[in-house]
């Protein structure tokens, strides 16, 4: 009985899933052309056309109502040929737009062009649903009679499927009632088994508690484990390795320092001549981004992150003028040493020749910057113990005793010339 019930249950689920899948496939068949057309439109048409507003060419909203699909295919494929043939509508559009000819797209098939038209219709429908005044009205009702009949047919199939599922559900409930008659015997067997298992656990617990040496050893191990965990926890207090806060602007070091290979000094010039690496001002960003807008990746619109930069400096990209209400960008600090620690960037970068990646990790590949190194005292001391002194540096000319050793060719570490003195890192 249970097997029959499960089989029927699976059949009902399969039936419902199949009907839903059929409906989804049927409804998405029209959307497939629009999806392919969207890719072609964004790659070839966005430079001159928008659905909802005029650009180099006219707004495309309502074009399917003004012209037949056959005429649109001919126009998009080769507008110049259509004009030369004497087509009245084609010549009217050509004259209206100052006789600027639309490029020919003879490489497109008719189906591809129909996909572009379907995409435009889809965008019109979205604009109409959103209350866009400039969008075409009545687009949602522009489907063909064949599509309407197809939808009605699918709806009828779904109703039939629902009826079948209801009948199967009643059969399954009847079978479950039959199975439930034997549930008492099954539960009694389970209760006996649990009682047996429980008695074994109780016996084991009693034997364990009677063995005082074993109890004491277990307690000692638990206390030792807690002590080790507590000790490790205390040593990790204030260590923020992997810390990656959310920044007000999603600045990608991977794009700037990695892909475009912009030198670290261009933005962080303070690292080469002062204690702090410094955060670049927004004006440094605007040296490039007054023209670079990443519009190619956002359908011709300015990147949302670059718009945040424009708002911070009060820059109008349309008039290319600055306003009088700039606002600071509230960056979140990532690498934060304790107040009692002193670290000089220029001493390490300019004098010692330490690469930025030594402390900051593979910064050129980070989409979002995070703390790579632990920045603990032990980590700094270990680096000073192993790092050899750069002898080709005028800074060490003042260290007479060290200079004499260097001339003899002796290898020296930072620790040998005072790199472990407390005052070098602590106030």
Shortest CA distance to 79 belongs to which of 34, 71, 159, 66?
Answer: 71
Mean per-residue pLDDT of the chain: 80
Q: Is the pLDDT of residue 29 over 60?
A: no
Q: Is the pLDDT of residue 30 over 70?
A: no
For 112-163, write each residue's pLDDT tens digit.
Answer: 888 888 888 888 887 777 644 443 344 334 444 545 666 777 788 888 888 8
Mean pLDDT on 67-72? 86
- Residue 46 confidence class, pLDDT cut points 50, 70, 90: confident
Percentage of residues of the chain with pLDDT beyond 70:
81
Is the dihedral angle over the CA atoms 218, 220, 224, 230 positive or is it negative?
positive
Is the dihedral angle over the CA atoms 174, 175, 179, 181 positive or is it negative?
positive
Classify residue 365 by its DSSP letter: G
Q: How far is CA 40 from CA 33, 46, 107, 161, 233, in A?
A: 11, 10, 12, 39, 57
Q: How many CB atoms lie within 10 A of CB 221?
A: 10
For 298-338, write each residue's pLDDT tens digit.
Answer: 888 999 999 999 999 999 998 989 999 999 999 999 998 88
Mean pLDDT on 347-360? 91
- Residue 196 confidence class, pLDDT cut points 50, 70, 90: low
Q: Is the pLDDT of residue 187 over 50?
A: yes
- Whose tokens are 């290979």? That residue is 261
Q: How far is Cα 397 from Cα 392, in angstroms, rounded to an integer?
A: 10
Candidate from 160-174, 185-199, 202-216, 236-250 with smallest mean pLDDT:
185-199
Residues with Cβ within 8 Å of 173's Cβ and at least 6 positions away in sequence, in order, are none
Retrieve residue 52's tokens: 């909802």
For residue 413, list its beta bridge partners. Answer: 388
pLDDT at res. 384: 93
For 372-413, write each residue's pLDDT tens digit.
Answer: 999 999 999 999 999 988 777 777 666 667 778 778 888 888
Q: How far is Cα 187 from Cα 344, in angstroms, rounded to an integer?
A: 74
Question: What is the pTM (predicted TM-score) of this model?
Answer: 0.45
Percentage of residues of the chain with pLDDT beyond 90:
26
CATH number assigned to the domain with residue range 2-150, chosen from the 4 options 1.20.1050.10, 2.40.50.140, 1.10.760.10, 1.10.10.10: 1.10.760.10
pLDDT at res. 258: 93
Q: How far is CA 337 from CA 237, 251, 353, 366, in A?
A: 13, 23, 21, 21
Q: How far is Cα 256 from Cα 420, in angstroms, rounded to an integer?
A: 36
3-state secondary structure of 393: coil
Residues with Cβ within 8 Å of 119's Cβ and at least 6 positions away in sequence, in order, are 33, 34, 35, 37, 38, 40, 41
Q: Is the pLDDT of residue 233 over 90?
A: no
pLDDT at res. 90: 82
Domains of the chain, residue spans:
2-150, 191-233
């Amino acid at each position: 009985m249970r097997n029959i019930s499960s089989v029927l249950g699976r059949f009902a689920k399969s039936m419902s899933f199949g009907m839903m899948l059929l409906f989804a496939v049927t409804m998405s068949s029209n959307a497939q052309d629009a999806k392919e057309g969207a890719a072609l439109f964004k790659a070839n048409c966005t430079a001159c056309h928008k659905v909802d507003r005029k650009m180099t060419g006219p707004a495309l909203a309502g074009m399917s109502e003004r012209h037949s699909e056959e005429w649109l295919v001919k126009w998009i494929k080769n507008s110049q040929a259509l004009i030369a043939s004497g087509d009245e509508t084609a010549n009217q559009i050509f004259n209206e737009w100052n006789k600027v000819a639309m490029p020919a797209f003879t490489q497109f098939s008719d189906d591809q062009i129909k996909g572009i038209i379907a995409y435009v219709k889809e965008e019109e429908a979205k604009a109409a649903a959103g209350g866009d005044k400039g969008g075409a009205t009545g687009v949602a009702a522009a489907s063909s009679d064949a599509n309407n009949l197809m939808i009605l047919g699918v709806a009828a199939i779904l109703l039939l499927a629902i009826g079948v599922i209801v009948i199967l559900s009643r059969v399954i409930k009847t079978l479950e009632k039959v199975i439930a008659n034997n549930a008492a015997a099954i539960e009694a067997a389970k209760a006996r088994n649990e009682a047996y298992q429980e008695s074994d656990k109780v016996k084991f617990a009693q034997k364990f508690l009677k063995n005082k040496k074993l109890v004491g050893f277990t307690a000692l191990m638990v206390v030792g484990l807690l002590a080790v965990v507590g000790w490790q926890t205390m040593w990790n207090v204030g260590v923020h390795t992997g810390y990656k806060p959310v920044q007000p602007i999603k600045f990608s070091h991977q794009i700037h320092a990695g892909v475009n290979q912009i030198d670290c000094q261009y933005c962080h010039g303070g690292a080469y001549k002062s204690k702090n690496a410094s955060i670049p001002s927004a004006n440094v960003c605007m040296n490039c981004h007054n023209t670079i807008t990443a519009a190619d990746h956002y359908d011709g619109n300015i990147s949302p992150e670059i718009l945040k930069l424009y708002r911070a400096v009060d820059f109008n990209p349309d008039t290319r003028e600055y306003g009088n209400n700039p606002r600071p960008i509230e960056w979140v600090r990532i690498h934060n040493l304790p107040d009692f620690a002193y670290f000089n960037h220029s001493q390490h970068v300019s004098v010692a020749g330490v690469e930025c990646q030594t402390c900051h990790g593979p910064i050129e590949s980070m989409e979002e910057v995070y703390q790579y190194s632990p920045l603990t005292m032990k980590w700094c001391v270990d680096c000073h113990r192993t790092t050899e002194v750069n002898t080709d540096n005028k800074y060490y000319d003042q260290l007479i005793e060290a200079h004499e050793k260097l001339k003899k060719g002796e290898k020296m570490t930072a620790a040998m010339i005072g790199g472990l003195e407390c005052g070098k890192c602590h106030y």
